[in-house]
């Protein structure tokens, strides 16, 4: 004990008993006096009268139980938080299966950068191109042949693959300071340092040149329709910082292909009102579809986005998500039906495309568990194939019926002329 402590204890013990008891009871309620009372209980308990010793001992016992309980509760809470919210973060491991595992090690970060192992985004970018190609084919003069439709669709798929990769690279460049703070994106190549921003920028240039190489394979009018879409590709990552509705900007970007199929098959939108109306309605329908599926996608990152300050429609309307998804589905199908009507589509389109889209979207909206990252991802990937496949099947069936009906009509006319 220090000289000061000895002086304090000696002075305390000389006080009258009632005064000591009162001082102990009041002192135990304050943080500063607890230290002195604890010192007394350790060093001078034997010198105190029985009543004073009892007050101190009871207080110490209660304080010990209280501290032990707090420690246990803190430990339990900490453990619960770790298990529920912050499970150990996995370290990056190179792919051992799939197409990426076959690539040289130096190529893998760039393949990951363009999401080569996650093709759902490519499908979502390709489907609007396929829709517009199938919708425009009967409007072409002469009507586009199936071989021409297939060739155009394959070119669109190549362009979707390249431009989706370019869009992902641009997105990751913009988000290089945000991605490390989001669990799902922290191991992306730029975020983990596997690709430098300069190399990513150079890689973007290569991809854009390759995309231009695909674009020039189409009729020259497609250049005037295709190049403006790059503005949306560049602007989308910025939208996440200024609005809760970046999905709308993504819709404007990913739906651009809904216009491109018309000029790709030689349909002049500026001089064909029916085609222009159909293209505009199909584009709007795909914007609604994009917002719908990306709202489900946004729920995978909703907690991390809130912490990182990233805005999304899922954060803004978390409690009303299913109602909004339903409204978007109705809007999408209504605009799709209007586009088909403007293009002169038949009952196969309305039953297959509109009806099929309605069924697949209704099932997805009903079954998706928005609180489960795994379930959101499953429906994001498979919902693309289900809804996109249904719409494509209806459009394809309608086109083929109209094509062969036209062919039979021409054959009949030719036979009449020959006679």
pLDDT at position 83 is 36
- For residue 412, what are its two tokens? 């009949």
pLDDT at position 34 is 47
The position carrying tokens 């819709």 is 251
Residue 73, pLDDT above cutoff 70: no
Contacts of residue 55, defined as CB under 8 A and 6 or more positions apart, other chains included, come to 21, 24, 25
* pLDDT, tens digit (0-9, with 9 covering 90-100), for 265-276: 999 999 999 999
pLDDT at position 185 is 86
More confident call, 230 vs 113: 113
Split at pLDDT 50, 70, 90, the class of 169 is very high
Note the Cα 243 to chain centre separation in Å.
15
Residue 23, pLDDT above cutoff 80: no
pLDDT at position 311 is 73
pLDDT at position 238 is 79
Nearest to 342 by CA among 284, 387, 401, 292: 284
Spatial separation of the C-alpha atoms in residues 330 and 347, rounded to whole Å: 19
Average pLDDT, the chain: 82
In total, the chain counts a number of residues equal to 419
Is residue 108 within 8 Å of 95, Cβ to Cβ?
Answer: yes
Residue 55, pLDDT above cutoff 70: no
Is residue 134 within 8 Å of 392, Cβ to Cβ?
Answer: yes
Mean local confidence (pLDDT), 289-293 = 95
Split at pLDDT 50, 70, 90, the class of 47 is low
Split at pLDDT 50, 70, 90, the class of 98 is confident
Show the CA angle centred on residue 243, arms to residues 238 and 247, nearest 5°. 75
pLDDT at position 68 is 44
More confident call, 57 vs 273: 273
Nearest to 396 by CA among 325, 340, 341, 342: 340
Mean local confidence (pLDDT), 257-284 = 96
Spatial separation of the C-alpha atoms in residues 308 and 177, rounded to whole Å: 10
Mean local confidence (pLDDT), 251-264 = 94
Split at pLDDT 50, 70, 90, the class of 418 is low
Is residue 387 within 8 Å of 325, Cβ to Cβ?
Answer: no
| 348: preceding bond cis by omega (within 30 degrees) | no
More confident call, 193 vs 8: 193
Split at pLDDT 50, 70, 90, the class of 1 is very low
- For residue 278, what are its two tokens? 């159909």
Torsion, Cα 194 158 125 281, to 10 degrees, reads 160
Residue 48, pLDDT above cutoff 60: no
Split at pLDDT 50, 70, 90, the class of 407 is confident
Plot region of 309 (φ>0 → left; ψ -120 to 50 → alpha; else → beta): left
- For residue 181, what are its two tokens? 């703070």
Element (H, E) at 283: helix 273-298
For residue 184, what are the CA distances in angstroms to 85, 96, 125, 377, 391? 14, 19, 22, 11, 31
pLDDT at position 44 is 47
Backbone angles phi, psi at 85, to 5 degrees: -115, -30
Q: Which of 339-348, 356-365, 407-416 has the lowest mean pLDDT?
A: 407-416
pLDDT at position 361 is 97
The position carrying tokens 């230290």 is 35
Residue 256, pLDDT above cutoff 60: yes
* pLDDT, tens digit (0-9, with 9 covering 90-100), for 194-244: 999 999 999 999 999 999 999 999 999 999 998 888 888 778 777 777 788
Mean local confidence (pLDDT), 168-188 = 88
- For residue 287, what are its two tokens? 């914007």
Spatial separation of the C-alpha atoms in residues 201 and 210, rounded to whole Å: 14
- For residue 192, what are its two tokens? 């983990």
Residue 105, pLDDT above cutoff 80: yes
The listed range with the strongest mean pLDDT (15-29, 175-189, 223-237, 331-345) is 331-345
pLDDT at position 301 is 78
Q: Which of 131-135, 185-189, 238-242 has the lowest mean pLDDT?
A: 238-242
pLDDT at position 364 is 97
Residue 146, pLDDT above cutoff 60: yes
The 10 Å CB-count burial string (b at 16+, else e) for 145-157 is eeebbeebbebbb
Mean local confidence (pLDDT), 26-51 = 49
Q: Which of 38-47, 53-62, 316-325, 349-358 has the lowest mean pLDDT?
A: 38-47
Residue 70, pLDDT above cutoff 50: no
Number of H helices, E strands in the chain: 19, 0
Q: Which of 54-58, 100-104, 141-145 has the lowest mean pLDDT?
A: 54-58
- For residue 142, what are its two tokens? 């002469």
pLDDT at position 299 is 87
């Amino acid at each position: 004990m220090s000289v000061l402590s000895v002086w304090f204890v000696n002075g305390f013990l000389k006080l009258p008993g009632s005064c000591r008891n009162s001082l102990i009871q009041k002192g135990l309620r304050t943080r500063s006096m607890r230290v002195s009372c604890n010192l007394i209980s350790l060093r001078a308990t034997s010198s105190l009268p029985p009543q004073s010793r009892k007050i101190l001992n009871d207080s110490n016992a209660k304080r010990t139980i209280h501290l032990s309980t707090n420690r246990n509760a803190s430990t339990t809470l900490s453990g619960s938080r770790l298990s529920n919210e912050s499970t150990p973060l996995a370290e990056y491991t190179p792919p051992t299966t799939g197409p990426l595992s076959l690539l040289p090690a130096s190529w893998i970060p760039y393949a990951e950068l363009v999401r080569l192992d996650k093709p759902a985004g490519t499908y979502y970018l390709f489907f609007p191109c396929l829709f517009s190609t199938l919708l425009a084919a009967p409007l072409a003069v002469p009507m586009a042949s199936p071989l021409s439709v297939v060739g155009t669709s394959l070119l669109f798929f190549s362009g979707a693959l390249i431009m989706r990769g370019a869009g992902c690279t641009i997105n990751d460049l913009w988000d290089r300071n945000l991605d490390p703070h989001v669990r799902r994106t922290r191991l992306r190549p730029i975020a983990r340092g596997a690709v430098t921003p300069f190399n990513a920028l150079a890689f973007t240039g290569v991809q854009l040149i390759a995309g231009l190489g695909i674009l020039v394979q189409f009729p020259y009018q497609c250049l005037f329709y295709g190049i403006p879409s790059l503005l949306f590709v560049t602007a989308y990552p910025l939208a996440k910082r200024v609005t809760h509705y970046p999905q709308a900007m993504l819709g404007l970007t990913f739906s651009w292909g809904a216009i491109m199929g018309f000029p790709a098959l030689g349909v002049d939108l500026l001089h064909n009102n029916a085609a222009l109306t159909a293209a505009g309605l199909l584009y709007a329908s795909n914007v609604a579809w994009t917002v719908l599926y990306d709202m489900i996608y946004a729920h995978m990152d909703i907690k991390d986005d809130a912490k990182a300050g990233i805005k999304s429609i899922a954060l803004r309307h978390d409690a009303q998500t299913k109602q909004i998804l339903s409204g978007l589905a109705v809007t999408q199908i209504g605009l799709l039906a209007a586009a088909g009507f403007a293009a002169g589509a038949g009952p196969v389109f309305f039953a297959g495309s509109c009806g099929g889209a309605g069924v697949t979207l209704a099932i997805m909206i009903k079954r998706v568990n928005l609180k489960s990252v795994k379930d959101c991802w499953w429906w994001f990937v498979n919902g693309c194939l289900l809804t996109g496949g249904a719409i494509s099947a209806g459009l394809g069936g309608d086109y083929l019926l109209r094509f062969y009906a036209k062919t039979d009509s021409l054959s009949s006319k030719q036979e009449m002329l020959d006679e």
